[in-house]
Amino acid sequence: MKMRPPATPIINIDPYFSVWSEESVLKNTIHWTGKPNSISGRVIIDGVEYHFLGLKAHGERDIPDMTVENIEIDAFSTVITYTGGGIRLTVHFTSPMLVDDLYYASRPVAYCKTAYESVDGAAHSVAVRLTASEELVLNLKGEGRALAFPAEVDGVTAIKMGNGVQNVLWRGDDDIRIDWGYLYLGVRGCGRVNHTVLNGMYAISVEADLEDEALFLFAYDDIDSIKYFGENLKAYWKNDGKTIEEAIAEAASEYDALLARCNALSDSIKRDALAAGGEKYAELLLLSVRQIMAAHKLVVDKNSRCLYFSKECHSGGFAATVDVTYPSSPIFLLYNPELLKGMLRPIMDYAAMDEWCFDFAPHDMGMYPLVSGQLYGVKRDANGKADIDFNMQMPVEECGNMIILFAAICDAEDDVSFVMPYIDTIRQWSKYLIEYGLDPENQLCTDDFAGHLAHNVNLSIKAIMGIAAYSRILQRLGESDEAEKMMQTAREYAAEAVKNAENSDGSYRLAYNRPETFSLKYNSVWDRLWNTKLFPEKFYTGEVIRYKKELLPYGVPLDSREKYTKSDWLVWAASLADSREDFNLFIDSLWSAYNTMRTRVPMTDWYYADTSHMSMFRHRTVQGGLFMKLMFK
């Protein structure tokens, strides 16, 4: 990878089991929140210890460092090559969170394969020791007492560590780490385990001699994963009664075959991205995959349905936020629509409950991992009864998002069966869009970082595309007359929008009442994708010309109010362009933003297009939106 990633993925399983490095030399390891998540790697060469990963322990400055020679990153692996002590050491981290396989998208086991070769012509005795601190099982070091326990795993030498007090799913928040369940650290075959101290923290370690290579495994059993309206739900991988020890043993035995699957899918993504947008676009997609997957948790409910919960990382910590699901959808539509269906089911469950007595779609489902109904813009009394602040709702936004996603799933599967149980609710939401969507009142949308905005043109376009999406669903249901009526409404609304929003330069306004302003009209991408031709060609030509005019070194601003942009919407807007040259112009700016970004965190999606400085947000699932261009096949 030619890009210098803003942060390097190491272990990436879910919102809690998350280890990154914010430095290219990998001298520290963090949780995606930026809090320390310390692991340490040592290689012992001919009896001399060398340090290669994480922070050194206090008082160990005299231990020499291995030199980072190269780092390669693909969709599921980070491979670091070090030199020192007469050897070349290769450390291959893999988090096999395969988007096209529900089981592997859930199983919480990551790999670290280590291998060496002599570079000085001499024979060497080599061992590797990996150490994991209590920070992986406590919210913060010292906040609780971590304890180590033996772990019996077939074919693996292992040890486990967990909080001495196990309060499973006892709280949720955004900037918080797990303090229940157990971390497992092991090595395939023979090795040596220990509990130790790392920088004043309790820790566990595993050491193994390298007869050319050794396979280490990190795993986390969170016991239960999501509290769903008072019921604790287990992760999908436990659906057949499998224990974590069995999962680790299985993972150790199938490493080569599973790595081949990971490499094949990564290569497929790269080939498609190269064909669609070139090398820089491919690098953006490859870097995003583990982040996207590891901001979700896949569980099974009492009715054996898959529920797939996002965490709105670093932007509130909400669970199953609809306007986070919407931008993330392309990767799941491309590779596994069942995961996207798992995101929509909880919203539809809640919309059918008495508590949600509104004619528009909810925003979220609670505070991850505690799911009990919308939290954003809601106050609850001691009995849990909700009091909705309508000033903080996003009715047009979420209705449009949900209907578009249902239609997109129908297209991806060429089947309407998923929609049918929910058609009455979808019908109600379409009525809301028809009544309020043409010229939205002063209400929030997902991009109102600069405040509420009335007469939002891009939000109007979302409503129009939501109505068109409903028409496409009706057509599949055999309701041809009603489908044509809805599509005609979408056409009329689109014509009205174009007439009322046009600027003198041929671009289109941020708001109907704000002449000569602009905004990224990313919601119109569905018109392009579905070939519904609601908006005339001059609309897209005018928009792309304006985007090129407004382009700053690191992207096109979200709209005329500020200089910040969003990575997901930038790619959607770029996908409106007819020419590969114009698409690449915008993609190059996004690649440059991450390549130069001084804030070393997992890919932010909200940053300043003039400086590449992060505004807010990190590790969010919305990077699934970077895959939008691949939808155009």
* DSSP strands (E only) in 471-577: 564-566
Instruction: Please report, as a single letter, which amino acid is at residue 470.
Output: Y
What is the dihedral angle through the alpha carbons of 268, 271, 276, 277, rounded to the nearest 10 degrees? 120
What was the pLDDT predicted at 571?
98
Per-residue confidence (pLDDT) for residue 97, from 0 to 100: 98
Q: How many C-beta atoms lie closer than 10 Å to residue 179's C-beta? A: 22
Mean pLDDT of the chain: 96
Question: Would you state the structure tokens that stand for residue 476, as one six-digit string?
Answer: 């599949």
Whether the pLDDT of residue 61 is over 90: the answer is no
Q: Is 499 helix (H, G, I), strand (E, B) or coil?
A: helix
CA atoms of 443 and 459, how far apart (whole Å): 10
Q: Identify the pLDDT of residue 633.
A: 83
Q: Residue 351: which of 292, 297, 452, 429 has the closest Cα?
A: 429
Tokens of 566: 């969003």
Helix (H) and strand (E) counts for the chain?
13, 26
3-state SS track over 105-167: CCCCEEEEEEEEEECCCCCCCEEEEEEEEHHHCCCCCCCCCEEEEEEEECCEEEEEEEECCCC
Residue pLDDT, tens place only, 37-46: 999 999 999 9
pTM, rounded to two decimals: 0.97
CA distances from 179 to 168, 182, 311, 529 (A): 8, 9, 17, 44
Strands (E), 517-584: 564-566
Which of 225, 416, 397, 234 shows the shortest CA–CA distance to 325?
Answer: 397
Domains and CATH numbers, the chain: 8-226+235-263 (2.70.98), 305-536+546-631 (1.50.10.10)
- Only one residue has tokens 């081949």, namely 260
Encode burial over 548-573: b for 16+ CB neighbours within 10 A, e otherwise: eebbbebbbbbbbbebbbbbbbbbbb
Q: Which two tokens stand for residue 286?
A: 């490859």
Q: Return the number of other C-beta atoms located less than 10 Å from residue 454's C-beta.
A: 14
Which candidate, 560, 571, 98, places its Cα nearest to that of 335?
98
* The residue type at 88: R
CA distances from 255 to 41, 85, 220, 262 (A): 21, 29, 17, 10
Q: Which pLDDT does position 18 carry in this prediction?
A: 98
Q: What pLDDT, in 10s, does the model give residues 442-497?
A: 888 999 887 889 999 999 999 999 999 999 999 999 999 999 999 999 999 999 99
Positive or negative: CA dihedral 362, 365, 366, 372:
positive
Q: Is the pLDDT of residue 56 over 90?
A: no
**3-state class (DSSP) for residue 484:** helix
Between CA 13 and CA 167 the distance in angstroms is 21
pLDDT digits (tens, 9 = 90+) for 420-450: 999 999 999 999 999 999 999 988 899 988 7
Q: For position 199, what pLDDT does the model report?
A: 87
Nearest to 568 by CA among 633, 508, 632, 628: 628
pLDDT band of residue 259 (cuts 50, 70, 90) is very high
Amino acid at 296: H
Q: How far apart (Å, rounded) are the C-alpha atoms in residues 70 and 53?
A: 14
Per-residue pLDDT reduced to its tens digit, 520-535: 999 999 999 999 999 9
Query: How many other CB atoms are there within 10 angstroms of residue 412's CB atom?
Result: 18
Question: How far is it, in rounded angstroms, from Cα 221 to Cα 230?
Answer: 20
CA distances, 430 to each of 229, 263, 469, 476 (Å) = 27, 42, 9, 16
Three-state SS at 340: helix
Return the structure tokens found at 479.
Answer: 């309701």
Whether residue 34 has pLDDT greater than 90:
yes
pLDDT (0 to 100) of residue 379: 82
Please enumerate, as own/partner, the contacts of 531-540 that have beta carbons within 8 Å and a separation of 24 or more.
Answer: 532/468, 532/487, 532/490, 534/464, 534/465, 534/468, 534/490, 534/491, 534/494, 535/461, 535/494, 535/497, 535/498, 536/498, 538/506, 539/498, 539/508, 540/576, 540/577, 540/578
3-state helix, strand, coil split of the chain in percent (to 5) is 35, 25, 40
Residues 111-147 pLDDT 10s = 999 999 999 999 999 999 999 999 999 999 999 999 9
